[in-house]
Amino acid sequence: MKRTFRFASAGGLLALAVSLALQPQTSQAREAQAILKETCMACHTPEGENALSRISHQRKTPEGWLMSIARMQTMHQLKISDEDRRTLVKYLADNQGLAPSETDGVRYALERRLNTVEQFDDQTKQMCGRCHSGARVALQRRPAQEWERLVNFHLGQWPSLEYQALSRDRDWFDLARKEMVPLLAKRYPLDSKAWADWQKSMPKAEALVGDWSFSGHLPGKGELNGVMKVTAAEGDHFTLSVDGQYVDGSPFKGQGTAILYSGYEWRGNVDIDGVKMRQVFAANGAQLKGRMFEAAHDERGLDFIAARQDHPQLLAVQPGYLKAGSETEVSLIGSGLNGTPSFGKGVEVVKVLEQSPQRVRVLLKAAADAPAGLREVSVGALKGQQLAVYRDIAEVKVVPAFSVARIGDNGGATPKVQGRFDAEAWGRSAEGKAYRIGVFPAQWKVEPFDDRAREDEDVKFAGSMQTDAGVFTPGDAGPNPERKMSTNNAGNLKVIAAVDDAGKAHTGEGHLIVTVQRWNNPPIP
């Protein structure tokens, strides 16, 4: 019974997340101020001109505002149409959002990089990050009174909170009010120069219209590049057309729409070869950067960077490495690429195979005595990317080093969450300095992480690893009668990648926890 409710609410939040990223606004959209008055004023008290209690004293990301309104719907019986909610999220994110610098370092949460190991002080980790990401806190701005009300909301809504581990050993409520509130008010204040400045200089959405050259990397699949055409639609909306390919030649093509919040928060919905994908990017002048992931499987996503074509930039070198004494094809991705690229001493461009403003494909040869290490790549005046020349692989790292996959499906409402891995080779320069060579093909397997995992046969039950790609698919959800005590298919595994370097095998190891479903899955984890 308990589960049924959780399924329902998780499903509800997912549905809400879907709606954040778009649907074109109709011209009949009501003014945000009218909606605030007619819909929100039922509970929120008017305060002076166009201000309402609580709402007017917070700043948040679009996802943050969406979650607040969604909570009013699920917990306080707020009735609001999807269209009005979209109008409000847009208005609030534009007028009470965060400056780009205020989301620095915590964008991983918006980008749904759920394997991030967060870096916060111990108190914030224990008082806040124990239940949700620290980023969820860091992506809000409030004065002390609003932080205090947030503390009261937490304990009022979840009375068991002060009985849990890392709460029941301390006077949680007192600490939250007396220590966390002042700390948060100081660290994440409502008023900031960054936001005041950004509001004055915030670019218009039209600045993002045009053709964008992009580069990406999908763990378990490889690098890709292409062109995304962006045309303007009404009200900071765009329509998109994506035309690209992976390095193996498979297509990456599709159509979609996007919206711009707060002058830089790009959120897109694109259908790529029949798969719905989301875009969470930050626009910075003529660059878009972030992550693009499958709507139903946010673990399947790619690092994405794009350059507007009227603004020359060098975005990527694919692949970004070359073995001393060998020849290989390398593509430079960017915008306004012009001229023969230069790779520094000991690396010769044998032939330019293809040349366009977005892509230069060359055959490269590294001399046998070319110094191992990273070198600057340039095309004309453009710089900013590196090529690694290596002689031997010194070490292989599994990336991410620590990750979580989740059992799912099997008749339940929650899909499986895969593990997605890359094998990253590292070299050592003549000076003994470690440097990243790049992502290599590898042979993959999992092993028990410890004796307990061996005894419980976690390798047999927790799921399976694709041998030629770092893709781990977890087992079915629910109790498994074949396991000891009918336990579920959770497991504690080592992820092992073996990279072959001219007949010499190098292995790297990561740690994968296979655990239960994420029942509560709001847009900001």
Partner 1 sequence: MLQTATRGLAAILVLGACSGPLLADEGKALNRGHEYMVTTNYPNNLHILDLATDSLYKTCQMPDAFGPGTVQLSPDRTIAYVLNNHYADIYGVELDTCKQVFHASITQQPGEKARSMFSFTVSHDGKELYTVANPTRMLNDRYEVQQPRLDVYATNAGMSAKPVRSFPAPRQLTIMQTGDDGSLYIAGPDIYKVNVQTGKFDVLVPSRHWKRPLYSAPDVLYVWNQQTYRHDFSLLYTAAKFKDKKEDPATADYVYGFFNIDLATGKTKTVDFGPLTEIYFSGMVSPKDPNLVFGVLNRLAKYDIKQKKMLQAATLDHSYYCISFNKAGSKIYLAGTFNDVAIFDAESLKPLGKIKLPGGDMAITTAQVFTR
Residue 179 is a binding residue for partner 1 (CB under 8 A): no
Residue 461 is a binding residue for partner 1 (CB under 8 A): no
> Residue 485 CB, nearest distance to partner 1 (Å)?
5
Restricted to residues 462-481, the positions that interact with partner 1 (CB under 8 A) are: 479
Residue 274 is a binding residue for partner 1 (CB under 8 A): no
> Residue 80 CB, nearest distance to partner 1 (Å)?
16
Stretch that binds partner 1, among 86-94, 121-129, 166-174, 207-215 (CB under 8 A): 166-174
Q: Considering Cα of 268, then 274, then 414, then 74, what sign does the dihedral take?
A: positive
Residue from 165, 248, 249, 369 touching partner 1 (CB under 8 A): that is: 165
Q: For residues 41 and 480, what is the distance between their CA atoms, to the nearest angstrom?
A: 50
Restricted to residues 39-68, the positions that interact with partner 1 (CB under 8 A) are: 43-45, 53-54
Closer Cβ to partner 1, 48 or 432, answer by number: 48
Which residue(s) pair with 288 in the sheet? 283, 306
> Residue 358 CB, nearest distance to partner 1 (Å)?
52
Give the per-residue contact string, 94-133, with partner 1 (x = CB under 8 A; - = no). Answer: ----------------------------------------
Residue from 48, 159, 274, 503 touching partner 1 (CB under 8 A): that is: 159
Contact (Cβ atoms closer than 8 angstroms) between residue 27 and residue 36: no
> Residue 30 CB, nearest distance to partner 1 (Å)?
22
Residue from 27, 77, 160, 201 touching partner 1 (CB under 8 A): that is: 160
> Which strands form 419-420's sheet, in the order they lie side by side?
419-420, 471-474, 463-465
Q: For residues 477 and 55, what is the distance between their CA atoms, to the nearest angstrom?
A: 40
Q: Going by C-beta distance under 8 Å and a sequence separation of 6 or more, which residues neighbour residue 279?
A: 21, 256, 258, 266, 267, 268, 269, 270, 290, 291, 292, 304
Question: CB pairs under 8 A, 24+ apart, for 177-182?
Answer: 177/148, 177/151, 179/123, 180/123, 180/124, 180/127, 180/128, 180/147, 180/151, 181/144, 181/147, 181/148, 181/151, 182/144
Q: For residues 311 and 298, what is the distance between their CA atoms, to the nearest angstrom?
A: 31
Contact (Cβ atoms closer than 8 angstroms) between residue 273 and residue 251: yes
Stretch that binds partner 1, among 97-105, 145-153, 179-187, 328-336 (CB under 8 A): 145-153
Give the per-residue contact string, 4-43, with partner 1 (x = CB under 8 A; - = no). Answer: ---------------------------------------x
Q: Going by C-beta distance under 8 Å and a sequence separation of 6 or more, which residues neighbour residue 483?
A: 456, 457, 461, 489
Stretch that binds partner 1, among 170-178, 319-327, 371-379, 425-433 (CB under 8 A): 170-178
Residue from 108, 120, 173, 519 touching partner 1 (CB under 8 A): that is: 173
Q: For residues 344 and 271, what is the distance between their CA atoms, to the nearest angstrom?
A: 40
Residue 250 is a binding residue for partner 1 (CB under 8 A): no
CA angle 73/79/83 to nearest 5° reads 95
> Residue 481 CB, nearest distance to partner 1 (Å)?
10
Q: For residues 418 and 471, what is the distance between their CA atoms, to the nearest angstrom?
A: 7
Stretch that binds partner 1, among 147-155, 419-427, 442-450, 494-502 (CB under 8 A): 147-155
The DSSP call for residue 523 is: S
Residue from 26, 81, 231, 486 touching partner 1 (CB under 8 A): that is: 486
- Provide Rg for the chain, Cα atoms: 25
- The site that binds partner 1 (CB under 8 A) totals a number of residues, namely 27
Closer Cβ to partner 1, 213 or 517, answer by number: 517
Give the per-residue contact string, 293-332, with partner 1 (x = CB under 8 A; - = no). Answer: ----------------------------------------
Contact (Cβ atoms closer than 8 angstroms) between residue 495 and residue 511: yes
Residue from 48, 156, 411, 503 touching partner 1 (CB under 8 A): that is: 156
Estimate the crossing angle of helix 2-20 against helix 82-95, to 10 degrees.
Answer: 60
Residue 155 is a binding residue for partner 1 (CB under 8 A): yes
Restricted to residues 349-378, the positions that interact with partner 1 (CB under 8 A) are: none
Residue 138: name the closest of 53, 64, 56 by CA: 64
The DSSP call for residue 417 is: B
Stretch that binds partner 1, among 164-172, 244-252, 277-285, 312-320 (CB under 8 A): 164-172
Closer Cβ to partner 1, 105 or 479, answer by number: 479
List of residues contacting partner 1 (CB under 8 A): 1-2, 43-45, 53-54, 149, 152-153, 155-157, 159-160, 162-163, 165, 168-169, 171-173, 479, 485-487
